[in-house]
Chains A and B, each alone.
Chain A
Amino acid sequence: MKRIFVDYKKCLACKACETACAVEHHPSGNLYAALGDRKTQVNVRVLGIEHEAFPLSCRHCDPADCLNACPSGAICRDPESGAVVLDASLCKACAMCAMVCPFDAISFKQTHRSCYNRDVAYKCDLCNGRIKAGDEPACVSACHSGALVYTENDAARTQRASRSLRSYLLGEEVPPPLLELFRELRRKEFARRRGGL
C-alpha cells in the first residue's frame, strides 16, 4: 500500500498542499469558489513550529484507532487503497474518533459533505478517487519542494531506516545547497524573533 511521506526538512511552508487539497475537495473543483467559502474543507495543515514546518494530515494508521472507535459506521478502510475514509452521511460528529487520534488529524465543521446542516468530522481521504485511478494525492502533486512523497509504505520505511543508520554512522546527510541556505535564513529569522531584536 502506498502512503504519503513527509520530509519536513524540505518543507518551505508554501501551503501549496493546503490550497490543492481545498480545491480537490471543493464541489466546484475551483480555487476561486473555494476561497472565502466557510464550507471549504482543508484536510492537510502546514504547522509551523519555530523554524521548522510540517504538513500534517491523517496517516491512515493500520490498525486505526479512529476506525475502531466510530460507533456510527462512518469510518472504514478501502480494501483496495488502504485509505481510512469517512462517510459524512453516516457521521454524527460524536468525536469518538477525535478523542483517540494521537495526531489530531480529525476536525469538525459543516462541510459540503454535511447532509443535515450540522458539523461533521472531516479528515484526509488520501484522495481516494485519484489514487485508485492511478494518480497521486492532490497535495503531493502540488508539492514543489519534494517534502511530500507518495510511495510504497514498506519500501519507504525500510529505506528510511537504513538511511538513518547510515547518517548515524557516517554523519548527517547534507540537503541541496539552496535548501540548506533557505533553512539557515529561516533559523536565523526565528532566532532573531526569539531574541526580540
Chain B
Amino acid sequence: MKIVTVGTGMAAAEFVQRLRLDGFRGEIVMCSDENFAPYSPCVIPFYLAGEPLDTVFWKGKDFYRHYRVTPRLSDPVVEVDAEKRIVRTVAGRAEAYDRLFYAAGARSWYPCPEWLETQGVFGFKTLTDMVAIDEYIKEHNIKKGVVFGGGFIGVDAALALRHRGLDMTLVHRNNRILSQMTDKEGGQFATRKLARKTGIDIRLKCTVSEIVADGGQLAAVKLSDNSMIETRLLIVAIGISPNSEPLCGHDKGVPVDRQMLAGAGIYTAGDVAVTPHAVTGETGIYATYPNAMQQARTAARHLLHGDGQYAGSVNTNVLKKHIDFPIVSAGSFTGETVTWQQGDIWRRVYLEDDMINGYIIIGDTRISGYIYQLYLSRKKVDSTIKKVLSAPRHDAYYRHMLGCGQEP
C-alpha cells in the first residue's frame, strides 16, 4: 500500500510516525510547498526571538530519512483526483496513492494581497515567513515593527519580535487583543496588563488602511484613525484560511467523519479539518496542536487496524510565550459568570446547567488544568466553583480529594 500525505505539518508528521511505530512498512510520500523537515508552528516564533533553528524540528531534523519517507518538497499540491487516486502538483508531478492523508494546513489571509509585493511586509505563519523576516531584519537593521492583527498569531509575533529587541506596535480592530480567546472584560484586563508588562504600543479599534512604500520598500503604514507610523516592517496576521481548495474546491475546510475520513481512502486532519467539538458537538476548525495530534492518531489507527474513533476537538488554548503572563481559555463564553481577581490574576468561569461552559484564566496557569478537567468531564460545580477559583494556595483539587479543610 502506498500512502501520500499532502502537508508535512504536525498532523502529517504525527500520522507518519504513528504508522511507522505501528509497523507499517509500505511506501510513504510526503508533499509540501515548503522545503523543510516537519517543524512545529508553535515553536517557530522562537527562531525569530533568537533561538536556534534546529529546535523547531520537533520530531528531528532527519525525519524523512528516519521514518523512510520520500519527501516531495517546494512543490504545492493543486489538485486531488479522488477518482483516479492521484495528487497533482504545480510542477506537473502526478503522485498516485492508495490512501491519502490530507493535512494541508492553513495559510495567512491578507486583506490586500498586493501589499506583499512591497519589501518589508510579511505574513507570520510558516517557517519560510520566519526565515524571510529574520533575514530582512538582519539585512536592514530593523529596530521597530508593526503587527496588524491582535489575535493569537499577531500577539505571538509582537512578543517574539519584542523579545528580539524591536519596538513593537500592535494594531487590532477589536476593543481588546485575543478577542476570540477572551470575553470583553477578561480581554481588556489582559490587554492592559500585557501593554504595561511589555511596553508594546497597542492600538485598538483600528486597522492598517494603507501602506506607504519608498522605492519598493515599506516606509510607513497609515491607520484607519488617520495616524501614520513610520516603519520598515509590517507583519500581517489578521486571519487564516484553510488550504482545502485542492480537495474540495473551496476554502471552508474539509468535513470529516469520526474516523477522520473525508472520502474513500482520504483521511484528513489538522488546521484544514472540520470536526465536531468534544463538548458541544458544534462542527468547526479547531486549529490547535493537541486536536491535530489526536486526529492524526485516529486516522493512523483506523488505517492500520480499522477501528477507533475521534472523540472530538476542544477549543482550548494558552498564550504564554516570551513572557510569564499566561492567558488560558476554553469553551464558550455564555451563561452565568463566576469571577475572581487578585493582582495580576483574573479568573472567570461560565456556568450553564451547573456545569462549566467556558473559562478564562489570566496571569497564572495554576488550577487551569483542574478547571480544564472539570470542563471536559461535565462535572456539576455550581456549589464549589467559587472556592476553586479563589482557593488561596490554588489547592482546590487536593482539598476536594482529601475531603478536609472545607469551610464549616
- Residues in A lying within 8 Å of B, measured CB to CB: 8, 47, 49-52, 54, 56, 65, 68-69, 71-73, 89-90, 92-96, 98-104, 106, 108, 116, 118-119, 194
Contacts and interface: CB of A to CB of B under 8 A. Distances in A.
Given A71-B289, A73-B59, A104-B369, A99 B398 contact: no
Interface string B18-52: 00000000000000000000001111001000110
A167 to B, nearest CB: 15
A118 B321 CA distance: 10
Contact of A47 (B293, B324, B398): B398
Nearest to B376: A100
B402 A104 contact: no
B397 A104 contact: yes
Given A54-B402, A99-B318, A90 B397 contact: no
B369 A56 contact: no
Contacts of B367: 104
B289 A69 contact: yes
Contacts of A116: 50-51
Contacts of A73: 40, 58-59
B405 A100 contact: no
Contacts of A99: 316-318, 328, 365, 368-369, 372
Contacts of A89: 55
Given A73-B58, A98-B365, A103-B397, A108 B324 contact: yes
A52 B289 contact: no
Contacts, number: 106
B369 A98 contact: yes
A117 B7 CA distance: 34
B278 to A, nearest CB: 13
Given A49-B398, A90-B55, A98-B365, A69 B290 contact: yes
Q: Which 9 A/B pairs are nearest by Cβ-Cβ distance?
A: A73-B58, A71-B42, A95-B320, A98-B365, A50-B405, A71-B289, A101-B369, A102-B373, A49-B405
B286 to A, nearest CB: 14
A106 B366 CA distance: 9
B372 to A, nearest CB: 6
Nearest to B57: A73
Nearest to A66: B369
Nearest to A110: B324
B393 interface: yes
A68 B290 contact: yes
A68 B365 contact: no
Nearest to A96: B318
Nearest to B321: A94
A72 B56 CA distance: 7
A90 B51 CA distance: 10
Contacts of A56: 398
A50 B395 CA distance: 11
A92 B404 contact: no
A100 B324 contact: no
B407 to A, nearest CB: 10
Given A94-B321, A100-B369, 19 more contacts: A47-B398, A49-B405, A68-B294, A71-B40, A72-B40, A72-B55, A73-B40, A73-B59, A92-B46, A93-B320, A94-B318, A96-B289, A98-B326, A99-B318, A100-B316, A102-B370, A102-B372, A104-B370, A108-B365
